Amino acid sequence: MASQQVHSGRMSIRLACDTFVISQTCYRYHPKLSTDNALIADWLVRLTQNQRNWGFGLCFLYLRNVKGFTWNHKRVYRIYRELELNLRIKPHKRLIREKPVPLVVPEGINQTWSIDFMHDQLHDGRSIRLFNVIDDFNREALAIDIDFSMPAARVVRSLDQVIEWRGKPLKIRCDNVLNARTFSSDRQSHAVTAICS
C-alpha cells in the first residue's frame, strides 16, 4: 500500500512509511532471488535418491565438505523442507515380554513363602534395608529384619530362626536378588525349592 501511494505521487517515502507504520529499510528492501536454489534442490534430490537413509545432516555435510559448496545450512534446510525430503521417524519396536507364570494359590500354611528386600531412608539420610518373609497362604509376615546392611549370613540366620519356629516351607519365592544357590549350597539340611522370578 505504501509503494502504491509513493508511485502515484501522492506521498513521499517518509510520509508513506510513517502513515503505514513501516520502516524505510523495510520499504526499500528488494529480495535477492538466487539461481542457486534450483541447484541446491537438484543436489538434494539426487543425494536422497541415491542414499535413502541420509537425513538432512549427512546431505549438508556431503555438500559442504565433499563438494565444497559454501551454502548456509539454514538455506539448504529450508529447501530440504520445501521438497519434503524429511526422513520418516520410525516408531520404536515394542519388546515382546514373556507372560509370567501365574501365581499358584497355596492350599495351606508353609507351602510357599515369599521373601524380598525393601529399602528406605532415615531422616538423616542413612539407608536402611528390610528383609521380609511372608507366608503366601494367609499373608502372614513371618519375619521383618531391619538393619543398615543385610549380608547373606544375616539372611540365612533369619530364615533358620523362622524355620525353627514355624517349620520349613515346600517352596520359597524370591526375585533376582536372591538365587537358588543361596538356598542349595548354604542350607543343604533344609532342602527347600527356590522359585526365582
pLDDT tens profile 111-136: 888 888 899 999 998 999 999 999 98
Rounded to the nearest integer, the mean pLDDT of the chain is 82
Give the whole-angstrom CA distance, residue 84 versus residue 81.
5
**For 5-19, 45-59, 83-97, 122-136, which range has the lowest pLDDT when averaged over its residues?**
83-97
pLDDT of residue 18: 87
Cell numbers 555435510 correspond to 61
Through-space distance between the first and last CA atoms of the chain, rounded to whole angstroms: 77
Half-sphere exposure of residue 37: CA atoms within 13 angstroms, side-chain side: 11
DSSP 8-state secondary structure symbol assigned to residue 196: E
CB 16 within 8 A of CB 27: yes
Q: What percent of the chain has pLDDT over 90?
A: 17
138 to 108, 112, 141, 170: CA distances (angstroms)? 8, 10, 9, 15
pLDDT of residue 131: 92
